[in-house]
Amino acid sequence: MCPPDICPMPAGMARRTFLSELGARFLGAVSGQGCMDNQFLVAFARHPAVRDALGRCYGRADMMLEAGWEQVADGMKAVMRGIGCEVIFSSPATRCRVVAQRIATALGLEIRIDGRLHELDFGRWEGMLWRDVPRTVLDAWARDVEGYTFPDGENARALRARVAEFWDDVMRQRRSCAVVTHGGPLRLLRALARGGVATLPGDAPPMGSVHVMQPRLAHAGHNGCPPA
């Protein structure tokens, strides 16, 4: 499996902005406020491509964005304006924060930096090339994707718990908003927005992409955790 947030993308992928069909249907109906009928929309955005990332293990490592990220952010901005975004939440990582700040400044929006949106912490292996990570570590992770704790880092259960806590807060506020974060948290958040159970395995959205979703309000307060 491809580790969170390090999957190489085709060169053109990181330069495009994606919008779900659901979001597109609402763009013409929403202007400057939340969605109709007490609903709201969330724009899930993954940071643009980063420098020196190919084949590298990184999660909490503060990677810098590739040149041209401003154009990607401006594409995201158009989508966030279209859904009547009221607030932007961002991971503290520089690769997310600078994007969120650019958009918030342009649109005059509140920005909230939230540590619960950080990527998975790989601990001692942060910044290493994957080929240099001991095979025993990779095998142990593959045997227990949710439970394996990286040395001096965290495991997927910890990631899932903090992302679910963040999502519960979003659901309580019920404001159209944007979330700028990483591949791992986005896998979980999009599952939660659909009213499903948040688990880490699965495909992450492309870097530099934004998807609009209408959360299932019936699941407000659900913490996304499977039964014990």
Residue 7 covered by a domain: no
Residue 58 covered by a domain: yes
CATH classification at residue 185: 3.40.50.1240
Number of independent structural domains in the chain: 1
Residue 224 covered by a domain: no
Q: Where in the sequence is the domain holding 54, given as residue range(s)? A: 13-215
Within 147-223, residue ranges assigned H as helices are 156-173, 183-193
Residue ranges for the chain with pLDDT beneath 50:
1-36, 219-228
Q: What is the pLDDT of residue 200?
A: 74
| pLDDT tens-digit map of 43-55 | 999 999 999 999 9
Q: Which tokens hold the place of 79?
A: 């989508």
Residue 4 covered by a domain: no
Q: Which tokens hold the place of 134?
A: 């001991």
Quote the Cα angle for 12-62-145, to 5°: 80
Q: What is the pLDDT of residue 36?
A: 47
Q: How many residues are listed for the chain in this entry?
A: 228
Residue 85 covered by a domain: yes
The most distant pair of C-alpha atoms in the chain lies apart, rounded to whole Å, by 53
| pLDDT tens-digit map of 63-88 | 999 999 999 999 999 999 999 999 99
Residue 5 covered by a domain: no
Q: Which tokens hold the place of 36?
A: 């109709």
Q: What is the pLDDT of residue 204?
A: 86
Residues 6+ apart with CB under 8 A from 92: 113, 114, 115, 117, 118
Q: What is the pLDDT of residue 35?
A: 42
Residue 8 covered by a domain: no
pTM of the model: 0.81
Residue 210 covered by a domain: yes
